[in-house]
Structure formats: structure tokens, C-alpha cells
Chain A
Amino acid sequence: MKLVYFAWVRQHIGTAEEELSPPAEVATVEQLLDWLEAQSEGHAKALADRKVIRVAVNQDFAAPDHPVGPNDEVALFPPVTGG
């Protein structure tokens, strides 16, 4: 699974992207965030406040119950501030 990070989520985690292989029981966005949080201090810091984490699966916004799989690109970022 390809994980990509933006803005302060990227800064806390310390990388813009990484290739990870979560266990098979990680099947939804929410389960992925729970698993990711335990990967490092940086991941835990980035994901500490779930209210301000937005997720896109294959470049579309995704809700916590959205499915995720090994071939997906999952992006984590703060609420957008363009325009």
C-alpha cells in the first residue's frame, strides 16, 4: 500500500510517502489509521487528533468506513486551505 502525506502530517511523519504492508485485518480507513498510529512516534503525533485528519483513497476523499487494500494509494492530510 502506498501512503502519501501532506502539510503538517508529512512533517510529523518525516516523509512525503512510504510503501507499507499492513496486516490483512486492516480493511478500512479507520483500521488503517489505528494501525499507522502504532508505527512510530511521528505517526502517532500526526494522527493524535483524528478530527483534523482527512483521507483520500486513490485520490478521492474517503470516509472512515471506506475499504482499503494492498494496491491502494492512501493520502493523509489536514483539512484543505487552498483558494
Chain B
Amino acid sequence: MTIKVQAEDFDVGAELKALAEGNTQIGAVASFVGLVRDIAPEPPDTDSPHANVHQSAMTLEHYPGMTEKALAQVEADAKARWPLDATLIIHRYGRLLPGDQIVLTACASRHREAAFEACHFMMDYLKTKAPFWKLEEAGGEARWVDARESDDTAAARWAKKEDAAP
């Protein structure tokens, strides 16, 4: 179980290699990488005074201490539900630009099904339980991103599956 909350970028290849290294029982590594999308409007006319401001950015704020605790709980919940040999969550904070990596979740298991499902679960849970907030900048304005109901629905889906389990 590894949790990293950091400003720096990460190397997905190196992280995934390290996750499975030294355990030849692992047969599957599933991972998810979240990137910053460009939310700026279409490039304006060159006549416009804002012609060169086609630039969006995002600043991620978090709650040091609670963030690590919440992410560790997400990993622990995943481990309690699937047979996992290793898990990893890396989440960045600070100011990021379009194309930058924000988050990496990865799960290693003997077989693919557990790795796929647990990775999906960790990402859905992280979205609703980890104390991060996104401030988007576009067209010279900054606004806090609203939480999406679909994220709650995505996380709740896993709870339903648990109830339905034999």
C-alpha cells in the first residue's frame, strides 16, 4: 500500500514497474491516470485583445493530514474487497496545466478481474472521499469546480454491489 501526495509530476512507467517488482505471484497490474483537460474557450480572433490568453490552468488545494488518511482508507477498503498484492495512489496538488498528470491509481493482483475492478473502485471512492478542491482558471477568471452528482452515483454503485453480494 503506497500513498503519495505531492506537487511533483510522476513517471507512470517507473511507478507501475516498482509496484509489481519482487512479487512474481502478480499476474495483473491495472492503472488509471487522470489528466488536466483544457477548459479554455475556443481560441479567440487574432483581433481580440485576449488573442493570446487561450490558456487554462487548474490549482488543486488539499487538506494535508486528512488527505493521506482518506486515501489510505480508500486503499484499505479496496484491499478488504479484492485479493490485491499491491496498491498505489499518487495525487498531485498545486497549479497544473492542460495535459499534466493529476492522479494515478494502480492495483496489482494475481488475476486481471480483481486488478481492474479494484482500480475502478479506488478512483470512484477517491473522487468523493479525498479532500481535494479544484480551482479552474480560464479566460482570466478563476472559479471553484462544483462537485458532480455523477461522482456520488459512481461511488454509490460499489456500495450497492456490496449489498447485492451473496
Q: Which residues of A contact B (CB under 8 A)?
A: 4, 6-8, 56, 59-61, 75, 77-83
Contacts and interface: CB of A to CB of B under 8 A. Distances in A.
Contacts of A77: 63, 131, 133
Interface in B143-166: 144-148, 151
Contacts of B128: 80
Contact of B66 (A8, A59, A79, A83): A59
A79 B129 CA distance: 9
A60 B61 CA distance: 17
Contacts of A78: 133, 144, 147
B88 interface: no
Tell me if B's interface is mostly helix, strand, loop or mixed: mixed
Given A60-B66, A60-B69, A81-B147, 20 more contacts: A6-B133, A7-B133, A8-B144, A56-B66, A59-B65, A61-B129, A75-B131, A77-B63, A79-B147, A80-B129, A80-B130, A80-B131, A80-B133, A81-B132, A81-B144, A82-B91, A82-B130, A83-B102, A83-B103, A83-B151
Contact of A81 (B63, B66, B146): B146
A7 B65 CA distance: 16
B134 to A, nearest CB: 5
Number of chain B interface residues as a range? 20 to 34
6 contacts: A78-B133, A80-B133, A81-B132, A82-B62, A83-B126, A83-B127
B131 A56 contact: yes
Contacts, number: 69
Interface string B52-67: 0000000011110110
A82 to B, nearest CB: 3
B124 to A, nearest CB: 9
Interface in B94-120: 102-103
Contact of B145 (A6, A60, A81): A81
Contacts of B134: 81-82
Nearest to B125: A83
Contacts of A56: 63, 66, 131
A59 B69 contact: yes
Interface string B64-77: 01100100000000
Given A80-B132, A82-B130, A82-B131, A7 B61 contact: yes
